[in-house]
Chain A
Amino acid sequence: MATVSFRDTTRYYAGVDRPAVDGLDLEVADGEFLVLVGPSGCGKSTTLRMLAGLEGVDYGQIHIGDRDVTDLPPKDRDIAMVFQNYALYPHMSVGENIGFHLKIAKMPKAEREKRVRDAAELLDLTQYLDRKPAKLSGGQRQRVAMGRAIVREPSVFLMDEPLSNLDAKLRVQTRTQIASLQRRLGITTIYVTHDQVEAMTMGDKVAVLKDGLLQQCDTPIGLFARPVNLFVAGFIGSPAMNLLPATVDVDGVVVGGTRLPLTTAQRSGLTSDKVVVGVRPEGWDTVDPESGITGVVEVVEELGSDQYLYCKSTYGGPDQVLTVRTPGMAPWQRGEKISLTPKAGAVHLFDEASGARLMDS
């Protein structure tokens, strides 16, 4: 059990002037499940590898509990890691794979076998203990990799996109299993993914990175409800938030026939009169054609429980595509005219130049 903290942690790669991770400050509470999420090349894997000791730290420190581990080798950090491609030792059986650390740590054989057996039981691997990894399915290999981490009872779990090699159905299933296993074991976990659905469903907290910079670290609800900038607003949520340009005047901003007054706090965040209005697909009301933003339904995505309409509109510029969520089995057809206005309280406002959220209070 331990907390993890990154303090101004910076990592450069040879021959690249821009740091891969730039002055990261991040605190992870004891027993917390933190997800690092962001597009490719945002520095999330580098962050994890620095914590694992597989990557050096150029500036700043990393602490696990109250120990400064910045310059410790991986074996002295009391961590366990699950790799994206699992990195199972192909010449060892499942049991040997799981027990390799315990063997190196010179644990007595009887105890070692008991621990391996317990871990195997927890992950439903008992019948495969004597098999080689090559004889296992992708899901089973993934569980072996988990077993190798669990058996050590480390103070921190590190997971580097452990589900990306599984098929869609198994991924959803394993997602829940990992989350519930982590809650049961209560071990601090740092989990890297590029999939924002995984991030939102698994994490106690989610840290969004972009270009090596931490954008926002918050609970999934916090991220969804109050994204701090345009990047987070566009990255979190599926389908993505609609972002429309608008101009502020003395009375506020007008979106689709609705006038939204700005608070003093919001006004103080403005750098010019240009703002971006964000509305999530579920934040629209359909109204009479005269009052709202008009558009033409181009694509209807029927999911059964919900329906997504992708509408072409000229609002705020040519070829603007607006995404609208309507109840499943709604009678919308392609080519129909639609008129939209944002629901009360569903509007996010961002300064266009800086991209920062105009904080409501």
Chain B
Amino acid sequence: MTTRVMTPPPPRVAKPVRKPPRKPKAAPGSRRLSPLRLLGSVIVWAFTAFNILVLYWLISASFKTPVEIFTKPFALPYQWFHLGKPFRNFVYAWNNAGFGDAVITTVVLVTLATVVTVAVSAPAAYALTRLGVRGSGGLTNVIAIGMGVPFQTVIIPLFVVMSKIQLDNEYGLFFIYVALSIPFTVFLLTGFFRSLPDELEEAAAIDGASPTRTFFSVMLPLARGGLITALILNAIGLWNETLLAIVFLKDQSSFTLSRALFTFYGAASYQSEYGGLIAGVAIVVLPMLVLYLLLARRIITGLTLGAGK
């Protein structure tokens, strides 16, 4: 056996103990404060602050008495809490505005209209982007033009036609909501379908799936982010829609929330019930805000991760 000469390992030099930084350093130059950037940040933060202020004012005022609203607009509510009836305004609004029926009408109407809109628009968007139909580019443009027509301009002829066929009621409103929401929804979803990789469709074709099967089993699940976005945006839009509801709904029992709020606005301001009025506004606005906060992440997160390499 031969002996090998082992060189001893070099003595360990004591290194300074390093702590990971709280935030890794940005790339050089990427953090420079340019005037444009500064201006942008100022505008964004001012806008955000203004919105938060409005939201704060809305929520705090809905717990206040009219006197408090006008004398101390930005203070925290006191009087109703002091009297042990903090939700008095909400109770008043709920009982006097007919919100009980209106909530049910609105939820049913908005849900149905939104779901039907997406159910019609998704196959349409798929066909327009993916099936390579002749003239699909032109058709997409025609649908996009629909977004450019303000519905306020067609409201009178629309009412005339709808009342002639006895649809100047909540059923007619449903059809109008669906019809008016389709252009935007199709346009939004064409973007989503267009971004999905071609190979998945080709793989499905080789696996033997028909176009219908491909749409339901492969493309639709992948466009889920887009579908949820379309649902939320339509729901918010229709939930807040007032003008059409005022024109088409005559029967108090079929009022939507925004329509009921409009009636309540007249009554409450006449009686100087401003606390109750603002509570009514909060009842209409807050559910959509909560819905948006809950689902906003779904809008942003894509689902095509992992399809390719």
Contact = CB atoms under 8 A, between A and B. Distances in A.
Contacts of A134: 305-306
Interface residues of B, number: 24
Interface stretch (A74-82, A191-199, A245-253, A313-321): A74-82
B165 interface: no
A165 B208 contact: no
A38 to B, nearest CB: 21
Most buried by B among A73, A79, A90, A141: A90
B160 interface: no
A350 interface: no
Nearest to B221: A91
Interface stretch (A97-105, A279-287, A332-340): A97-105
Interface string A37-62: 00000000000000011100000000
Interface in B274-309: 303-309
Contacts of B224: 91
Interface residues of A, number: 31
Interface string A88-115: 1111000000001100110000000000
B307 A89 contact: yes
Contact of B307 (A54, A81, A90): A90
Interface in B202-217: 202-209, 213, 217
Contact of B218 (A54, A89, A141): A89
B200 interface: yes
B247 to A, nearest CB: 43
A138 interface: yes
A87 B207 contact: no
A85 interface: yes
A91 B207 contact: no
B206 A52 contact: yes
B40 interface: no
A133 interface: yes
A132 interface: yes
A131 to B, nearest CB: 10
B251 interface: no
B222 interface: yes
Contacts, number: 84
A81 B222 CA distance: 21
Contacts of B205: 53-54, 73-75
B206 A85 contact: no
A87 B202 CA distance: 9
Contacts of A33: none
B176 to A, nearest CB: 35
A104 B206 contact: no
Most buried by A among B206, B221, B303, B307: B206
A90 B305 contact: yes
A308 interface: no
Nearest to B213: A104
A79 B206 contact: yes
A286 B303 CA distance: 61
Given A101-B207, A105-B208, A87 B306 contact: no
26 contacts: A53-B205, A53-B206, A54-B205, A54-B206, A74-B202, A74-B205, A75-B205, A75-B207, A75-B208, A79-B206, A83-B202, A85-B309, A86-B307, A87-B200, A87-B307, A90-B222, A90-B303, A90-B307, A100-B207, A100-B209, A100-B217, A104-B209, A133-B306, A134-B306, A136-B306, A165-B309
Of all A-B residue pairs in the complex, the 10 with the closest CB atoms, nearest first, are A134-B306, A87-B199, A85-B308, A75-B208, A165-B309, A87-B203, A101-B207, A91-B221, A133-B306, A90-B306
Interface of B: 197, 199-200, 202-209, 213, 217-218, 221-222, 224, 303-309
